[in-house]
Each structure stands twice: as C-alpha cells, then as structure tokens.
Amino acid sequence: MEKVEKEPLLSAKNIKLLKNPLGQDNPITVQVLGICSALAVTVKMKPAIVMAISVMVVLAVSNVVIAALRKSIPGRIRIIVQLVVIATMVILVDQFLKAFAFDVSKQLSVFVGLIITNCIIMGRLEAFAMANKPWPSFLDGLGNAWGYGWILIAVSFFREFLGTGSIMGFPVMEKLGVYNFGYEDNGMMILPPMALITVGIIIWVQRARNKSLIETK
Amino acid sequence: MKDFSNRYIMVFSVVMVVSVAILLSLTALLLQPRQEKNVEVEKKIQILSSMNVSSDRSNAVELYDRHIIESFVINTEGNRVEGVDAFTVTLRAEQRKPLAEQSLPMFIAVADNGDTLHIIPLEGKGLWGPIWGYVSLKKDLSTIAGVTFDHKGETPGLGAEINTTPFESQFHDKTIFENGNFVSVKVVKGGARPGNPHEVDAISGGTITSNGLQAMVHDGLIKYEKYLSQNRK
C-alpha cells in the first residue's frame, strides 16, 4: 500500500485519536476495560501516577511494534504475538525501572507485572494497531493510556483525600485542622469496593453530561 | 488478513521467540550490575534508617561505612560463626534450615551520639508477600532505638503503611525483655494500652500484615535471645 499524499503528523483525524479516549471513548468509563488495575492501584495518588505513565510507555510502544509488523503477523497466532510483545515490553520497563529508578520500581512492585494483563493494552493492539499504520497507532496508544491514566488519577485523588486525608502523601486534612471539629477519615474509601463506586459516579456524571453515551433500547 | 502457510507461521514464531529471548537476556545481563548495586544500597539505607540515620542513594554507602563498625554472624546458641559475611546472608534461605544451622547476622553500629547499637535483620510474611525489616537495640540489648520495615507488595494505604514513619516511630523505646524474659513487641488491634512498653498500635484494615509483622519481630528476635541475654550490660 503506497502512500499517495503525505498526511500531516497531527491531522484532525490524528488529534481525534488522542482526544477521544479522554472523554467520549474513554477506555475505563465508556468501554469499561482495565477496571481491575483501576481498583488495585488507586488507594494513593503516587502509585496511580506511576502506573499511568508505565501503561502509557507499554501501550504506545506495543502499538507501534504491532502496527509495524501488522502485515507479517499470521492471523492465526496474532493474539500470542500480541501477548509476547506486551510481555516483552513490560519486562523491559520493569528491568529499566529496577536499574535506573529503583524507588519507583519498589513502589509499583507487583503492579508492573500486572500491566501484561491490562485488557486495554490487548484491546488496542487487536482493535487498532492490527489495522493501522505505526504513527496513528502510537497516537492511539498515547490517547488511550491518557484516558486510562486520568481516570486512575481522579479516582486515587478522591480515595486518598477522603480515605486518608492527604493528597500525594501530604496530610491536607491534618494541616487544615478539621479533625478538631470531629471530622474523621472514611476508612471505607481505601477498600476496593469504593474504587468501583467512585468509577461508577464518574461514569454517571459523564453520561449525565453527554447524552449520546446512553444506550438506546 | 492474508492467509499464511504453516511453514511461515512456524518460522515466524521461532524467529519471534528467539529474538525476544536474546533481547531480554541481553538487557538482563547488561542491567544486572546496576540492579544489584541498587539492592545493596537499598539494604544499607534500611540498616541506617533503623538506627535513625536518614540517607539517600548518594551518601548511603559512605554513611554506612562510617556508622557500621562491625558485622558478624552468630548461631542460636549465641556463639560467633566464622567465615560468613553478615551482609550477604539471605534470611529467607536461612529460615528454611534447621534452627541450629541458621546463620544470624548482627550489625554493630555507632550512633551520632556515640552510643553502640546492635542491629538485627528480620524477615517474615505479610498478606501478599514477604515483609522484612531491621531493629536496632540500645546498649541494654532490650530497648529499641529504632526500626525500619518494608514489604514487597502489601496493599497501598493498608498493609503498606508498615514502612511509614508514623507506624515505625511507635517502636521507639519499646523493650523486648521484661525482667530478663523475652516478650517481644506486640502489634495490638484496636490500639496499644498507653504506656505499655511491649505494645504498639496495629494498622486498621491491615490486620494480616500487622499479625505477620508481629510474628516476624517475635520469631526473628527470639533466635537472638541467648546472645542478647549473655551480652547484656
């Protein structure tokens, strides 16, 4: 397939690839993918941010690799090939973190390995990278990782703030002195079910504002 | 999607697997010295932190050499074992051996105020994986000067709180002996009794990690009981 005319790197179509997953095509709130890790790493903001960045690297690079190989990957083993690419990327990220950012790798610990099982990544490889060129795939990876990441960070903000009274580990509630007025942290916010409810509330707000997301019966 | 022959699929898989294997082994080999160095520095930071000396990656090695004056290995009888480097002992491997054959590392340190401290490494089980830590004892070999704990993958906000200062600082000035008998320090759910020298508060929502930590402190320190009793001044 020869290119006839050169498309600008950030054409309207490509910008859409970046922007849509943030809102109306969000992997978590609209496609409801990657929920498992959204529950696991959102108790505190720091791990959530690092997780978002790691997923971005893995998703963007895997997308590019799969898109570059898409014409030579046999259809019958494409899922295995995708898994191998993702797993390789995750191990590389993990190895590099251990060598160059040891403290970050300590914080993420097991969650880096769990990126392999993040449904968003395989979903994007299968749905987008297998059928598109590397550059749009790269943008699609970035966009979806951001869409995933900002939900993760938003959920972790509420859970950390309401559950432990701090933001990024800084004890805001204590500094404000609200404990003196009988305020208490809501311990339930740190438990996994509250992550699901927080995501649910975000979905509710999003659908209330954007009626086109509501399914017609 | 094109149809590929079986031969193509076989060749594709073999090439893919071999190249991925080469890539990963190369990375692992190249990065290994750096990673091992990081682990070593991390251990030094933790040993220092148990004696309330804060350090970072840049100065840990230097501070460690300044503060830790001696390290050796003893057995459960309290006698020194020669020929084993205390720093490289892995507790997890030792714990699988029969009690009498276990090497128990001990680090002797000098604090900034000139006090001699005995630092004992610990390892145990949390909810999701291993937890470990270091306890530094003052000259009476019963009063805790400081502790540091860490974990592999406890739940953030719950069990993972064991490596935070509010939890660790509770251990300061607790004692592990009562009238010459070993009692360890208990992690009490619902709150330690005020003024009790052998109790600290557990972590709410982190009961299994708290219990694991209590067991780790007890089981780890009791092996040193003979040595500590013999050498108490």
Query: What is the model's pLDDT at position B2?
Result: 61
CA dist A80 and A78 (Å) reads 5
Sign of the CA dihedral A158, A164, A166, A172?
positive
CA B232 to chain centre: 24
CA dist A196 and A205 (Å) reads 14
Query: What is the model's pLDDT at position A1?
Result: 44
ipTM, 2 decimals? 0.73
DSSP A170: B
Residue A41 clears pLDDT 90, i.e. is over it = no
For the segment B136-166, what is each residue's pLDDT rounded down to a tens digit?
Answer: 999 899 999 999 999 887 877 788 889 888 8
Residue A2 clears pLDDT 50, i.e. is over it = no
The residues, ordered by sequence, that sit 6+ positions from A55 with a Cβ below 8 Å of its Cβ are A115, A118, A120, A121, A145, A148, A149
Residue A138 token pair: 């790269």
Query: What is the model's pLDDT at position A8?
Result: 72
Distances (CA, A) of B99 to A172, B96, B120: 48, 9, 17
Whether the CB-CB separation of B122 and B132 falls below 8 Å is answered with: yes
Q: Is A166 on the interface with B (CB under 8 A)?
A: no
Least confident of A208-217, B106-115, B221-230: A208-217
Q: Is A211 on the interface with B (CB under 8 A)?
A: no
For the segment B37-93, what is each residue's pLDDT rounded down to a tens digit?
Answer: 999 999 999 999 998 888 888 888 899 999 999 999 998 888 888 888 888 888 888
Nearest to A108 by CA among A160, A54, A167, A56: A54
Chain A residues within 8 A of B4 when measuring between CB atoms: 74-76
Residue A39 clears pLDDT 60, i.e. is over it = yes
Query: What is the model's pLDDT at position B81?
Result: 87
Give the closest-approach CA distance of A32 to chain B in angstroms.
23
CA dist A193 and A175 (Å) reads 28
Nearest-Cα residue of chain A relative to residue B156: A43
Residue B102 token pair: 């276990």
Residue A171 clears pLDDT 90, i.e. is over it = no
Please identify which residue in the block is written with the tokens 């966009």: A143
CA dist B15 and B205 (Å) reads 49
Whether the CB-CB separation of A67 and A85 falls below 8 Å is answered with: no
The share of chain B scoring above pLDDT 70, in percent, equals: 99
Asked if B12 and A75 come within 8 Å (Cβ–Cβ), the reply is: no
